[in-house]
């Protein structure tokens, strides 16, 4: 039942609003399950993409209304890729750092969750503004199965 | 997100949550949880058995609760976390930091 | 837990390929559940949107590759609206008719499923080509609940 | 979609399906089902208990099966449909047209 690939990208364009996050989670959850990632791995991927979007809402858009987030999903035999695009002011990703986790205080877990779930996480600044976060998760060879 | 507070015994409060605990519901949970510390509690228990999902904003809410509980010397327990929710606490290196028990009712029976 | 409204549209842009239909179903399912439609009603909405997309794949695109379907979801206090847009040749929707259901034979159920689930179904021909199917499901007053 | 054919008793075939039965999986189910009619069957049973979803292309496949079964005088039964799947047959006015039973194993035990 594993999904080997989709013939083109899946694009989800949503309001930058906490209320739309359940849609992102449902989509990432169903896609990672079909790809064949294990239960816990799926949970981590869902959490990571959720955190990346809530970071955009809080930090890039500072909770401004009428902003958008565009997610682009690629599924192929080798990897699962999620691009998260915003149109806020460009920031310096070198400053996006996780706090020391031993230090128990609220906040500062998002980047850690994102990096734990995906094999590659790359921020870039597109020419037409905003920020792009590219997340890549490689597939183990067993996960690509024919039926 | 649905939330319900019950004072189970004198000073023992149970906060039962239902629904995903994410950025859209955390503020509501925070406003249900933090005022309990003003009720001279001895023990605050959060029932997570009907919470399928938690993100960093939900965790932040409980870390805040933990800090309040330490300051005011109140026992603070997370009960009934589902495997998914538990694995997220684990990923945050927080499983050992909170008192987590499998079942709120059984905990209450013991008290 | 009911979702009253989203502050803007949710847009899902997918390959016109049977392999992407599970994504459409997951999205319609999770959204209709959050809106608060009953279990059976959710099932019918999922089925209807799936059928509308497979009609596009079969009839508008005749299974051609590299074509897209764009779904736009609106959620507000009064209704749930799904726009299904394709870029195939314009056709005459007056000819999109369900067969007689007493006549048991394969096929011809899609339009019936779509009309059973939604209160309004309207085809139109956008100026820049293709077809647009607008589906509207009204919400019962009890379904819009505050928390 | 996973599918498996077993000849349970002489002439009695069970086709067990697992997964959503939609436009992407129906062709595969069709190629599993229709050849069974060439095996001189007396009864073909389709186990739907692990099929969470069916759309019109899945239904079309079974309507084709039904037509074959009538032509060749073979008993054709859909077993174990989940409530969701059953309600879709219902919506298509087809619940009375097919022989539908709750459980494949119990049906087989009776034969
Ligand atoms: N998309 C973003 N735009 C701007 N700043 C960001 C973004 N994502 C993360 N950051 C910065 O990185 C820091 C760490 O992020 P994170 O680990 O998610 O914790 P938190 O968001 O709780 O502070 C944030 O405090 C913020 O300063
Ligand atoms: N998007 C579309 N573009 C062109 N023709 C369509 C479209 N949707 C439906 N039709 C026409 O309407 C007919 C009835 O559709 P439907 O009830 O879904 O049954 P089926 O697709 O199985 O024939 C189709 O056979 C087709 O001729």
Ligand whose nearest atom lies closest to the CA of C123: 2
Exposed/middle/buried for residue B65 (C-beta within 10 Å: 0-12, 13-18, 19+): buried
Place A143 in a pLDDT band, splitting at 50, 70 and 90: low
**Hey, how many other C-beta atoms are within 10 angstroms of the C-beta on D29?**
23
Place C102 in a pLDDT band, splitting at 50, 70 and 90: low
- Condensed to tens digits (0 to 9), the pLDDT of residues B48-96 reads 999 999 999 999 999 999 999 999 999 999 999 999 999 999 999 998 8
Is the pair B, D in contact (3+ CB pairs within 8 Å)? no
- Which chain A residue has its CA at the smallest distance from B21's CA? A22
Under DSSP, the state recorded for C103 is S
Closest-CA residue to C45 (of C122, C138, C124): C138
Average pLDDT along chain C: 91
The DSSP result for A13-55, as a single string, is EEESSGGGHHHHHHHHHHHHHHHT--HHHHHHHHHHHHHHHHH
Q: Which atom of ligand 2 is nearest to the CA of D56?
A: 22
Least confident of A101-115, C97-111, C123-137: C97-111
Would you say residue A102 has pLDDT above 70?
no
| Interatomic CA distance for residues A15 and A67, integer angstroms | 6
Would you say residue A112 has pLDDT above 90?
yes
Would you say residue A146 has pLDDT above 50?
no
- Condensed to tens digits (0 to 9), the pLDDT of residues A15-25 reads 999 999 999 99
Would you say residue A147 has pLDDT above 50?
no
Least confident of C31-35, C101-105, C129-133, D32-36: C101-105
Distance (Å) of CA C120 to CA C30, C83, C114, C138: 21, 11, 9, 9
Which single residue is written with the structure tokens 């906040």? A107
More confident residue, A119 or C92: A119
Instruction: Say what the pTM is.
Output: 0.94
Closest-CA residue to B100 (of B59, B55, B68, B71): B59
Cβ atoms of C86 and C60 within 8 Å: the answer is yes
Cβ atoms of B100 and B51 within 8 Å: the answer is no
**Hey, how many other C-beta atoms are within 10 angstroms of the C-beta on C103?**
7
Query: Would you call C1 an interface residue with chain B, using a CB distance cutoff of 8 Å?
Result: yes
Would you say residue A41 has pLDDT above 60?
yes
Interface of A with C (CB under 8 A): 3, 6-15, 17, 19-20, 22-23, 26-27, 29-31, 34, 65-66, 68
| Interatomic CA distance for residues C125 and C116, integer angstroms | 23
> What is the per-residue pLDDT for A1?
56
| Interatomic CA distance for residues C50 and C22, integer angstroms | 9
Which stretches does DSSP call E strand in A1-147?
A: 10-15, 68-75, 79-86, 120-124, 131-138
> What is the per-residue pLDDT for C144?
53
- Chain C residues with CB under 8 Å of D57 CB are 54
SS3 label, residue B66: helix
Angle between helices C110-117 and C39-55 (to 10 degrees): 140
Ligand whose nearest atom lies closest to the CA of C50: 2
- Condensed to tens digits (0 to 9), the pLDDT of residues D42-83 reads 999 999 999 999 999 999 999 999 999 999 999 999 999 999
Ligand whose nearest atom lies closest to the CA of C130: 2
Identify the bridge partners of residue A11 per DSSP, sorted by sequence position.
Answer: A72, C13
Tokens in use for A130?
Answer: 């905003």
Which residues are near ligand 1 (CB < 6 Å)? A 55-56, 59-60, 91, 96, 98, 107-111, 131; B 56
Nearest by CB to C6, from A8, A20, A34: name it: A20
- Chain A residues with CB under 8 Å of C10 CB are 12-15, 20, 23
Residue having the nearest C-alpha atom to atom 9 of ligand 2 = C96
| Interatomic CA distance for residues B34 and C73, integer angstroms | 37
| Interatomic CA distance for residues B24 and A115, integer angstroms | 23
Least confident of A40-54, B36-50, C106-120, D36-50: C106-120
Would you say residue B103 has pLDDT above 80?
yes
Would you say residue D95 has pLDDT above 90?
no
For D38-43, the CB contacts below 8 A with 24+ separation are: D39/D7, D39/D13, D40/D11, D41/D11, D41/D12, D41/D13, D41/D74, D42/D11, D42/D12, D42/D74, D42/D75, D43/D11, D43/D12, D43/D13, D43/D74, D43/D75, D43/D76, D43/D77, D43/D111
Place C147 in a pLDDT band, splitting at 50, 70 and 90: very low
- Which chain D residue has its CA at the smallest distance from A1's CA? D1
Average pLDDT along chain D: 95
Alpha carbon of A23: minimum distance to chain C alpha carbons (Å): 7
> What is the per-residue pLDDT for C146?
45
- A116 Cα to the center of ligand 1, angstroms: 15
Q: Which atom of ligand 1 is nearest to the CA of A112?
A: 17
Mean pLDDT of all residues in C81-89: 97
Least confident of A98-107, C70-79, C95-104: A98-107
Would you say residue B45 has pLDDT above 50?
yes
Cβ atoms of C48 and C135 within 8 Å: the answer is yes
- Condensed to tens digits (0 to 9), the pLDDT of residues C128-145 reads 989 999 999 999 876 554
Longest CA–CA span in chain B (Å) reads 35
| Interatomic CA distance for residues C84 and C121, integer angstroms | 11
- A59 Cα to the center of ligand 1, angstroms: 6
Alpha helices, H only, D18-82: 26-33, 56-71
Query: Would you call A107 an interface residue with chain B, using a CB distance cutoff of 8 Å?
Result: yes
> What is the per-residue pLDDT for A142?
61
Closest-CA residue to B46 (of B24, B71, B75): B75
Would you say residue A144 has pLDDT above 70?
no
- C86 Cα to the center of ligand 2, angstroms: 14
State phi, psi for B19 to the nearest 5 degrees.
125, 175
Cβ atoms of C83 and C133 within 8 Å: the answer is yes
Tokens in use for A133?
Answer: 């976060």
CA C88 to the chain's CA centroid: 17
């Amino acid at each position: 039942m594993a999904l080997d690939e989709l013939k083109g990208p899946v694009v989800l364009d949503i309001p930058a609003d906490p209320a739309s996050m359940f849609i992102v989670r449902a989509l990432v959850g169903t896609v990672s399950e079909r790809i064949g990632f294990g239960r816990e791995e799926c949970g981590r991927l869902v959490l990571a993409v959720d955190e990346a979007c809530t970071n955009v809402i809080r930090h890039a858009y500072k909770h401004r209304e009428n902003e958008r987030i565009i997610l682009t999903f690629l599924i192929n035999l080798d990897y699962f890729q999620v691009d998260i695009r915003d149109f806020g002011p460009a920031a310096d990703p070198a400053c996006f750092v996780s706090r020391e986790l031993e230090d128990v205080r609220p906040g500062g877990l998002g980047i850690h969750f994102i990096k734990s779930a995906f094999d590659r996480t790359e921020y870039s600044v597109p020419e037409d503004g905003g920020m792009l976060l590219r997340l890549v998760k490689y597939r183990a060879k067993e996960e690509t199965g024919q039926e | 997100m649905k939330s319900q507070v019950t004072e189970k015994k004198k000073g023992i409060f149970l906060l039962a949550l239902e629904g995903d605990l994410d950025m859209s519901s955390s503020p509501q949970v925070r406003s249900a949880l933090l005022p309990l510390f003003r009720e001279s509690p001895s023990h605050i228990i959060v029932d997570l058995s009907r919470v399928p999902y938690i993100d960093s904003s939900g965790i932040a809410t409980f870390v805040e609760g933990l800090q309040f509980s330490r300051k005011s010397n109140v026992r603070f327990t997370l009960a009934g976390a589902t495997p998914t929710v538990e694995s997220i606490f684990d990923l945050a290196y927080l499983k050992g930091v909170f008192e987590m028990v499998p079942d709120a009712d059984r905990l209450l029976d013991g008290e």
